[in-house]
Structure 1
């Protein structure tokens, strides 16, 4: 596949960024892992798990309440925000300061912000792609203020396989160049289209060529198409993405056993994740940071989050045992 050439200025920037990250101890694929001596990984909560509650005005629940719900309802001390639930607050310093204070008082860590609706970073139109990159700047700044390590973005584009790769890499590179001096990561989730093809996405990150640009593997988001269904093998996809992973998304839908989650049943075929197998892949890459619960099932959201946490705790206990005892 064709490679995007780097200008001499860009090479110099890459070298300077790498040096800066190395100097602060933030270099490598384990860039943002918050490691624990007590468990093989930590558990965070993605705000999307409560999307129906947050969209229901009668619930009285807002983004400002999210850290408290995470800590007090579920005992989870890492939160992953979704920008659409405070879309008009990216530059509201008073609002962000209050959110940061709440997290500090609760002992909650702001992990990342998932950013949607700011334009396609791989848009074929140069002006629109540039605007999309610049639209994301405010979320880099907000994430930095809140103490997050990254923003999660999408790598949407149009065109052939190679064209989309080149365009997405260009947008991601420009955004990552903006984020690097702030020590912020730009991480891409497999989130539909070619981004759900694990090879396409991992190769795109290689093309970007900046250490602060990585991936956020989502266990259940490997539908390249849904009609007809085109599913990239999720275990292979996570294996390909983990060398660049700076966060992990534990997508859950229907619980079908001690370690099994069924994401969809289409034409008699179950698309599912064996969490013991999947987390073994994650850990094999030396990742011991936050694994974010993202419940998308049709049941009660609070109960779904509790079941997701219990699943991850069972997996952690199982994988903490000596191999001979499993």
Structure 2
């Protein structure tokens, strides 16, 4: 039986692994078989992560995270978790190909996934003019004409932020009214660089090596038109990856895993959560990494309390000894 199993391999998961490994907890990290490294694997230049003044490619940054975790003894398996049982003192994790694993504690760092438009060229042009994060990529669109798809607070925030760099920002929304709060609407309406394209949805994205425009369909009369662009930001929401934990871990109204205050403690003893799967607001690599630190420290303290309790209970002592 393991001391700690970490599910997820983004900044939160790898940072938790680094801290857990340095605490001699011998963590096992279960990374996805196809999405190891998280969303940063789909990002090109990362310029806002501390310690890299010249910037760094997203995949290279995640490779360094992995190398550091492995340096201190983290075991990493590229496999998908298919089922979890977290309620008892012994947590059971089932995987697709590597069998079942047991642990005294589990750190959930499964992240979140940006909602996508579902268009054929969306994946092909990801990182080549298509982005889901203005604070990550806005700097690369200086003096360009770009568009934001969406009508909620996130879309208004993205559009307003992008006016710092772009010469013009279109907001494309499928209706003629916004879902965003009044204060966010007013801020966007007052910005001279923002122009709204109402009753429209993106049905096509053009560009050979980079985005150069989109095809719009009017949601009222069905007519189509072309809008030339130098970039497209998609802000239609994101979904925390919590499907494995439904019915076991409490969720918030935002759909994220609920934790106790600023800790990583979930409603189940010995189960901790970190990164975007608990964060509906910031969703940055640096905040996810910090959250992973908290989870590892919480897990370490939990395991220490089990060990202390084991001194007073022979049955617990046997279980703890088996996990080392």
Please give the range of the TM-score, normalised by the shorter of the 2 chains: under 0.3
Query: Which protein is richer in strand relative to its size?
Result: 2
Larger Rg: 2
Query: Which protein is richer in helix relative to its size?
Result: 1
Please give the TM-score of this superposition, normalised by the length of structure 2: 0.26
